[in-house]
Amino acid sequence: MGEVELVLPAATSAAVSTDGKLVGLLVISGLITLLVASLLGLFAVRFRRGSKAGRSRLPNWFSRELETVWTLATVGLFVAIFAWAASQDFALAVPPARSMEIHVVGKQWMWKAEHPGGQREINELHVPAGETIELVLNSQDVIHSFYVPAFRLKQDVVPGHTTRMRFHTEKTGTYRLFCAEYCGTQHSAMIGRVVVMAKEDYADWLTRQPEGDDLEEDGKKLFVSKGCAGCHYGSSQVRAPRLAGVYGSKVPLSDGRVVTADDDYVRDSILQPKRDVVAGFAPIMPSFAGALTEGELVSLTAYIRSLAVTETAR
């Protein structure tokens, strides 16, 4: 494992922001602690037993004004710290105009990543420097937590839910990847690395990897092999919702609700088809819970998402 690094470099823009907030809070806390300790020491010496310092009661107006000023100063400091930290977090939460999407599945006890071109990795993640990377995270079994200390980023990965995490780094290097949520007997062995490469090196690395079908192609094959095409293709005789252009659109349901067809909606429609029945259609679709792995669900979702892009391009 090598030597333990006591001070990790700030390898992303989020890490710089996080370190700034930590240092700022430490400085403010240190100054307040120093002020309180100094006052305690001053009063302990000045009003020690036997000293001739005056001990008469302070005027009521002075006590009231002092308490008011102290309370307002404390509230103002709290609001200022909150506004400062929140503004940085909101800035980091704004989605970029362009990002590279990489799908990551956590399972006992490994991280499996798939790049847009179909290249796959286990416990390693190669990414180009200077690009915004968006990780689409899913768990195949229990709760995991994707944690890269040098990035100052940690995202819980919960079974049945799709979560996303973005980062942007200009610094090439190799950074440790951990699971930060106890996930079973070999939790401590669920480690890997994130390799940030120059764009030219990353392009060269991609060309040297065995290319499999990308997620959309995998999803298309599953769509046919699992029988989905028999109902949802345009040529089908079964009356079922057509999926071309549905992703990202508003979907009216039989109970009067209107939902947006996002990743969670697609996932729920596959695993719990009777939960959100599309208006005008009978609840005849069987559940695929237990029949599909987490990776297969990710591929099917990617394929259905691609149908919306294809429909828009026409």
261 with 161, same domain: the answer is no
pLDDT digits (tens, 9 = 90+) for 225-244: 888 877 887 666 667 888 88
Where does a domain end: 180, 208, 236? 208
| Residue 6 pLDDT | 45
Determine, yes or no, domain membership for 107. Answer: yes
The answer on 225 and 187 residing in a single domain is: no
- Supply the range of the domain harboring residue 122: 100-208
Residues above pLDDT 90, as percent of the chain: 29
- Looking at the fold, whether 204 and 259 belong to one and the same domain comes out as no
Which is it for strands 132-139 and 100-107: parallel, antiparallel or unpaired?
parallel
Please report, for the domain that includes residue 292, its CATH number.
Answer: 1.10.760.10
Q: Residue 105's domain is classified under what CATH number?
A: 2.60.40.420
Q: Domain ends where: 177, 208, 239?
A: 208
* Greater model confidence, 309 or 1: 309
Q: Are 156 and 237 part of one and the same domain?
A: no
Q: Do the beta carbons of residue 136 and residue 298 sit within 8 Å?
A: yes
Q: Choose the final residue of a domain: 208, 235, 268.
A: 208
User: Is there a domain that residue 67 lies in?
Assistant: no
**What are residue 17's phi and psi, to 5 degrees?**
-65, -45
| Residues 276 and 256 reside in one and the same domain | yes
Whether the per-residue pLDDT at 222 is higher than 70: the answer is yes
- The continuous run of DSSP H or E covering 263 comes out as helix 263-271
Model pTM greater than 0.85?
Answer: no
Sheet holding 173-179, edge to edge: 124-128, 191-197, 173-179, 144-148, 153-157
The answer to whether residues 163 and 192 belong to one domain is: yes
198 with 232, same domain: the answer is no
Same domain, residue pair 191 and 223: no
Total domains in the chain come to 2
For residues 150 and 224, membership in a common domain is answered with no
163 and 254 fall within a common domain: no
The verdict on 230 and 150 lying in the same domain is no
Q: Are 297 and 290 in contact (CB under 8 A)?
A: no
Residue 183 near residue 108 (C-beta atoms within 8 A): yes
Same structural domain for residues 185 and 230? no
| 3-state SS class at 257 | coil
Q: Residue 80: inside a domain, yes or no?
A: no
Does the residue 73 lie in any domain? no
Q: What is the mean pLDDT of residues 8-12?
A: 80
For residue 123, tell me if it sits in a domain: yes
- Does residue 83 lie in a domain region? no
- Please check whether residue 68 lies inside any domain of the structure: no
| Structure token pair of residue 282 | 């009978």
CA atoms within 13 A on the CB side of 223: 23
Instruction: For residue 150, give the nearest of 8, 23, 22 by alpha carbon.
Output: 8
Span 51-101, pLDDT tens digits: 887 777 777 777 788 888 889 998 999 999 899 888 877 877 777 778 888
Say which residues have a Cβ less than 8 Å from residue 135's Cβ, sequence separation at least 6. Answer: 102, 103, 104, 146, 155, 164, 165, 166, 167
Instruction: Specify if 65 maps to a domain.
Output: no
